[in-house]
Structure 1
Amino acid sequence: MTTKQRRPTGREATTGNLREVAAVLDQPDRCIPTRDELVFVFNIVRGYLPSPRMMAFYGGLGALAVLEVIEWPVVAAIGLGAAVARRSSSARTGELVFHHRNQLGVAGRSANTP
């Protein structure tokens, strides 16, 4: 025989009595994310994904590894090297843009012009 009851905490529980054994199963709280929370998480994840061009590159490398045209350790080294080179070049580009903006000044004019 099973019965449902509301616990003092407001959660539902199911109690089952089987001969000399009694079991109480608490139902977990359900947390359904809102649309804003899902959009927030999606934007964070999208920031970590590579560009569509790089995704095609990695997909091509994966296809070459699956078809055994190139051995998988070589494919892994090429993919890792491309990712590191891409990350370091984007960091360097950001530094150059920051340096260039500082040279121009706040108003966008050259610091040497009156």
Structure 2
Amino acid sequence: MATKQRKAGTEGTTVNFPGVTAEFHRPDHVIPTRDDLSGAAETVRGYLPSGQMLAFYGGLGALTAFSVIEWPVAAAIGAGVALAQRAGGTASE
């Protein structure tokens, strides 16, 4: 019923049923190289905030977690700082 066959360098299995024939092939897997992984890491680092801003956002989150400020206020502060930085200024200036 099932037969193994070789087709264009890949191994597959063909199953013949009445009225239908199914072919199953092993998928091609691509293993990323070290250069691929380092390129992806550099891309992610480009989107992360600086260490100073990461500490600011962490502190803002801690204040919210300990109920010192409410979460809508913290979200408004965080969004305002992010928008101000995108506009060209930095929070430390």
Specify the TM-score bucket, using the shorter chain as the normaliser. 0.5 to 0.7
TM-score normalised by L of structure 1:
0.57
Q: Identity percentage over the alignment? A: 58
Unaligned runs of 5+ in 2: none
TM-score normalised by L of structure 2:
0.68
Deviation per residue, 1:24-52 (Å, 9 max, x gap): 44322111111112212211221111111
User: 72-81 or 61-70: which moved more?
Assistant: 61-70
| Match of residue 66 from structure 1 | 65
After superposition, residues 1-114 of structure 1 pair within 5 angstroms as 5-8=5-8, 10-14=9-13, 24-87=23-86, 88-89=88-89
- In the TM superposition, structure 1's runs of 4+ consecutive aligned residues that sit over 4 Å from their partners are 1-5, 14-17, 19-24
Unaligned runs of 5+ in 1: 91-114
Q: Matched residue pairs, number?
A: 89
Deviation per residue, 1:52-106 (Å, 9 max, x gap): 111111112222223332222211111111112222215xxxxxxxxxxxxxxxx
> Separation in 2 of the partners of 1:68 and 1:2?
65
Higher normalized helix content (fraction of residues): 1
Greater relative contact order (CA < 8 Å, ≥ 6 in sequence)? 2
1:38 maps to a residue whose letter is L
**C-alpha spacing 1:74/1:4, structure 2 compared with 1 (3 Å):** farther
Please provide the CA RMSD for this pair.
2.8
